[in-house]
């Protein structure tokens, strides 16, 4: 199919988009929380993929190839976006403060399982992640969020495994510090 699409067969390329767009959307959703941004990133991924189809040699899976392009596209988009300034306690809504405080004090887990609570937590997390560097965000998302092995992250990003480990180590520390600041501890 890649060969057909590379030869200019539009139907073949449309089939590729149909087949791999759920994977690309799933992955891009981890980096962007607005649907429009996810769509923009996904479209860029497929346009890039079309121009690079000739370089896909069929050695690895096409899904892996798309994941790699998605990772790099999202990282580039994050790098070109303006970073949110550091957050403080005063930036939090009442719900967010409540969620953080109860989570920190170890209140019953069941209380936070409701979808509304999850949304509050996801909103807050997104805002905290937006204050972090794109590399920190990438590694936290892939390693801690998606439970991707270090080796896989190294292949996706082109970084060495040691760099992934060091980046993850530092990113966890910075995330913890950001949360600490929000809690005013």
Partner 1 sequence: MSEHIINILEGTRFASLSDNDHSRIRAHSATCEECARAYKLASVSASMLENRMVETFEPSPFFHTRVLAALREQQNEGPAFARLWRAAGALVSSMAAAVVLFAVLSFAVFDQTLPTDASLTTAYSPEAVILNDFDEEQTDGQVLSTLYAADE
Nearer of residues 59 and 170 to partner 1, judged by Cβ = 170
Nearer of residues 3 and 169 to partner 1, judged by Cβ = 169
Q: How far apart are CA 125 and CA 35, in angstroms?
A: 17
Structure tokens at 129: 């992640």
CB of 119 vs partner 1, minimal distance in Å: 8
Structure tokens at 70: 């998605």
Nearest to 156 by CA among 95, 70, 33, 45: 70
CB of 37 vs partner 1, minimal distance in Å: 10
CB atoms within 10 A of CB 94: 8
Nearer of residues 86 and 144 to partner 1, judged by Cβ = 144
Nearer of residues 79 and 144 to partner 1, judged by Cβ = 144
Torsion on CA atoms 59, 64, 69, 75, rounded to nearest 10: -140
> Could you tell me if 43 and 36 are in contact, meaning their C-beta atoms sit under 8 angstroms apart?
no
Residues that bind partner 1 (CB under 8 A): 10, 13-14, 17-18, 21-22, 24-26, 28-30, 33, 35, 38-39, 42-43, 46-47, 50, 100, 103-104, 106, 112, 118, 121-122, 124-126, 128-129, 140-141, 143-147, 165, 168-170, 172-173, 175-176, 179-180, 183, 185
CB of 128 vs partner 1, minimal distance in Å: 7
What does residue 131 show for φ and ψ, rounded to 5 degrees?
A: -85, -10
């Amino acid at each position: 199919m890649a060969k057909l699409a590379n030869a200019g067969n539009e139907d073949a390329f449309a089939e590729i988009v149909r087949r791999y767009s759920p994977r690309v959307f799933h992955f891009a959703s981890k980096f962007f929380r607005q649907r429009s941004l996810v769509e923009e990133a996904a479209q860029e991924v497929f346009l890039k993929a079309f121009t690079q189809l000739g370089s896909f040699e069929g050695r690895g899976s096409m899904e892996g190839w798309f994941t790699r392009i998605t990772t790099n596209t999202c990282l580039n988009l994050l790098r070109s976006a303006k970073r949110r300034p550091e957050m403080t306690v005063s930036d939090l809504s009442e719900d967010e403060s409540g969620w953080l405080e109860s989570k920190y004090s170890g209140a019953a887990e069941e209380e936070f399982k409701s979808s509304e609570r999850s949304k509050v937590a996801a909103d807050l997390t997104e805002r905290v992640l937006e204050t972090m560097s794109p590399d920190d965000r990438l590694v936290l998302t892939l390693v801690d969020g998606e439970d991707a092995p270090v080796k896989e992250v190294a292949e996706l990003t082109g970084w060495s495994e040691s760099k992934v480990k060091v980046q993850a180590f530092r990113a966890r520390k910075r995330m913890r510090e950001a949360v600490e600041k929000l809690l005013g501890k």
